[in-house]
Every structure is written in C-alpha cells, then in structure tokens.
Amino acid sequence: MLSSESIDSLLEWGRAARRDLPWRRTRDPWLVLVSEVMLQQTQVDRVVDRYLRFTERWPAPRDLAAEDLATVLREWQGLGYPRRARNLHLAAVQMVARFEGAVPHRYDDLLTLPGIGPYTARAVRVFAYEQHEAVLDTNVGRLLARWNGSSLAAEEAQRAADALVPSSRSWEWGQTLFDFASAVCAKRHPACVECVLADVCPSSELAGTQRDPAVNSAAVSRRQSPFAGSHREARGVVLHVVGARSISARDVAEVAAAELGSDETRVNTALESLVADGLIELVDGQVRLPASRR
C-alpha cells in the first residue's frame, strides 16, 4: 500500500506540520483517555480549553470517581453527547474498584470499561503506552482506502493499518496520520497538489469525487444528520434547562419547548430518553441531574 520511502516522507511531513495539542504533550493514560473521549464527534478547537479545565479539576481516575455524576455532567455541558461524560465517570469508578485507580494497558481490559470500544482502547494503548499497533478512525480509514485505490472491508482496513506502523514509532505515526488527513487528505477538498504522496497515490485525481474509494469504505463515517431540529438538540436543551436545580417536569417541558420553538411532545421524548440513559432523574414529578450512587 505504501513503501518505506512513502512512510518516511509522511513522518518527515509530520515533524514539520504536526499540531501542538495539550494531550500530545503527555503519555499519562488517564489524560490520553479523557482527550479521546472528548474528541469523539467533537472538533479539536472546541475540545482544547474544556480538556485543560476538566483534567485540571480531575487529573486522575480517583478524582473523577470521587465526584458526583451531576457535577461531571454540568462540567460537560456544551461538549455534546453527555453519555460520554457518564461513561467516563463510570469507567473511573471501575478503574478504582478493579485496577487500583489506574487505566489498564491490556486491550481486553480496556474493552470491559464503559464507553471504551476498539478505537478508544487502541488509542490509549498507542498514545499512552506506545504499543506497536494502529489507531483506525474515520480519518485514517479514508487515507487507507485512497492509498489502496479501492474501498476496504473492516478486517482489511485494520490489517492494512497495522502493517503500516513503523517500528518504535506508533505514537508519531498515529498522530501524523490524524493531521495529514485533516490538513491535506481532507474528506471533501483534498489538497492533492500539496501532498507528499501525490506521485504514488492511486487516488490523487479521484479523492473528493463521487468515485472516491473512501466512500463506504470501512471505518469511514457517513455524513451526520443536521443538529438543528434533531433529537440530540432537544436532549441538550433539556439538560441545560435542568442544570444545577431540581425543577418540575412540567416546567422543563414548557421552558425547553419555548427554547426549541417546538411542541412539548418532542421535549418529553428527549426527557424520557435522558431518564433511560441515567443522565437525569425523575422523582415525584421533579427532574434533576443524577444523585451520587457511590
């Protein structure tokens, strides 16, 4: 797929162009995990300040595990997908109970923690523990398909990704691919004329077109539905309305519906889903963020 010369060219590009991000200045497994959870479906620019504030407040699993979930959810507001905060809190509790307050390094152990799937487990192993394996996300999946010249199945993509990792440089390689996919080999408007691999890439004239081999390839995400008018938007507004107080379900429905400019049916659906996910509690007609269950 790529020659050793091409891999060296990419690494050289990375040394000059790789972004200086706070989670790249550490190998602390907890800080790496927090960054990976925050970066799921959230842009880097929105994460940086929130990551710094979060990790200063809870610099280790024991610190987060000792905190009320309600406080964690309030701190998370604005990042979206609050299930991530709940799962990170639950994972911290389990790390204290099962792993002496440490983030485990074994892949199978990481997968037993709430909210940690194959991608996040590999990211922790590579970016914290520098294990020799590949981190395959939607951006890397796009690169692999374009370098292959055709779409890849899931197992093919992971095998191809692992095969490209240069010896003893898994951290550098993984971070370089993230930035290369963002800055050069972008989804819609790849800068092929600036690409250090333009002469060897079989997709240099196809990338970004309808014939782009990355379309429908393994690990490459589909376009997300608009946020405005979505169920996600309604859930976020309900959580914001509940905030730090206990409020009646009726008042939540009225205030959130007014903010959304919709009827209360949509709000009540969001309310029910948040209760089901354990992100809010409904007790005697009052809605509140969850009380601690430690």
The one catalytic residue among 12, 36, 100, 133:
36
Is 280 a member of any domain? Answer: yes
Total domains in the chain come to: 2
Report whether 280 contacts 242 (CB < 8 A): yes
Domain around 89: 28-127
d(CA 69, CA 87): 10
Is 219 a member of any domain? Answer: no
Is 92 a member of any domain? Answer: yes
Question: What kind and span of H or E run contains 141?
Answer: helix 138-148
Task: State the pLDDT at residue 227.
Answer: 60
Is 170 a member of any domain? Answer: no
Buried b (16+ CB within 10 A) or exposed e, 75-108: bbeebbbbbbbbbbbbbbbbbbeebeeebbeeee
d(CA 266, CA 284): 22
Is 60 a member of any domain? Answer: yes
Residue with tokens 């993509």: 157
Task: State the pLDDT at residue 294.
Answer: 47
Domain boundary among 127, 157, 188: 127
Is 154 a member of any domain? Answer: no
Q: What is the mean pLDDT of each run of 10 residues along the chain (294 residues)?
A: 96 97 98 97 94 98 96 92 94 98 98 96 98 95 95 92 97 98 94 94 85 86 60 76 74 77 80 85 83 55
36 is catalytic: yes
Domain boundary among 64, 98, 127: 127
Is 180 a member of any domain? Answer: no
Task: State the pLDDT at residue 225.
Answer: 53
CATH number, position 266 = 1.10.10
Task: State the pLDDT at residue 108.
Answer: 98
Task: State the pLDDT at residue 194.
Answer: 92
Strand stretches in 111-158, DSSP E:
none
First to last CA, the chain: 50
Domain boundary among 127, 152, 175: 127
Report whether 57 contacts 98 (CB < 8 A): no
Is 78 a member of any domain? Answer: yes
Q: Which distant-in-sequence residues (6+ apart) come within 8 Å of 66 by Cβ?
A: 294
